[in-house]
Amino acid sequence: MSPDHRRNSPGGPRVRPPRAPGKGKFAPRRAPGKRKPVTRRAPGKGKPAAARPGMPPAAGALPGAVRINRFLSMCGITSRRKAEELVLEGKVEVNHAVVRDLSTRVDPVRDRVFVGGTQAVPVQGHLYLVLNKPKDSISTLSDERGRTTVMSMVRTRERVYPVGRLDRNTTGVLLLTNDGGFAHRLMHPRFHVPKSYRVSCDRALPQADMERLRSGIQLEDGRTSPAEVQYIAQGRGKEIGITIHEGRNRQVRRMFESLGYEVLKLDRVAYGPVTKEGLARGGTRSLTRGEVRTLKEMAGYTEEELLSGR
């Protein structure tokens, strides 16, 4: 009986036909004598070489690298502008090597950055606070003379810092955050974020001086932008409300002093939409989502940035 006949007979054993050469599970992947072509990587392509330990990375060497000032603001250390000062002063180390080049870029995952000996680590979430600053406190993180700082009034585990400054004798609204980009934009003069103050003078202001304040005052660092100025009811002309759109050092005090007035009290009552209403002296609270969004809109954030939370 032929093998084909046995295979096709009912009840007979099934016999598989022989496989064709080069087919099947265990067949060689390529014919003998042929080799897989080698594709050579073009120069400069592929993964970048790892930075040597103890050396700051080269600019642009890592895809996820960011500029050093931006990285420090991401860590809540300070604003980008202040971060640049820290770099130039030689207070920043990348992988244990001091860097002074503002174009230095670091990888937030791979590189280790230190400021004053303390490692800087990017924060996972941002905090936005308002403090009703009392008199005789200074708007710094610490003071070598032992004076009271606003940080002694903030109860949070996260490191935050003031957005701008109020001088020692000025009271009222002071914003604090660990969002360096947010702080930088609020303080940048290009965005003209309004800040409102209540001023108590040693004598009444005539209407002529009110108009001078409204049109701008010539100071040693240039002429101020037009301000919104009004008398406060029952203030007998000595209580003035003023809103400015700049952030010069001691600007409101200098504006009134240039006109021959002594400022007895200066209280910031609002920073953009944020007020101190219902907040005791020395008290803090978190900003509402609406307040944060409005401040960001005033500071030039795009709709895409607002939606992404950047």
Residues 6 or more apart whose Cβ sits within 8 Å of residue 236: 204
CB count in 10 Å sphere of residue 178: 23
Q: What is the pLDDT of residues 129-166, one digit of tens each?
A: 999 999 999 988 777 788 888 988 988 877 888 998 89
pLDDT tier at 55, thresholds 50, 70, 90? very low
Q: How many CA atoms lie within 13 A of 83 on its CB side?
A: 28
Rounded-to-integer distance, Cα 185 and Cα 205, Å = 34
DSSP letter assigned to residue 163: S
Q: Which of 143, 167, 202, 221 is catalytic?
A: 167
Q: DSSP secondary structure string, 211-275?
A: HHHHH--EETTEEPPP-EEEEPTTSTTSEEEEEES---TTHHHHHHHHTT--EEEEEEEEETTEE
pLDDT tier at 42, thresholds 50, 70, 90? very low
Q: What is the mean pLDDT of the chain?
A: 81
Closest by Cα among 77, 126, 123, 125 to 295: 126
Residues 6 or more apart whose Cβ sits within 8 Å of residue 97: 54, 55, 56
Provide the token pair at 137: 């406190």
Establish whether 167 is a catalytic residue: yes
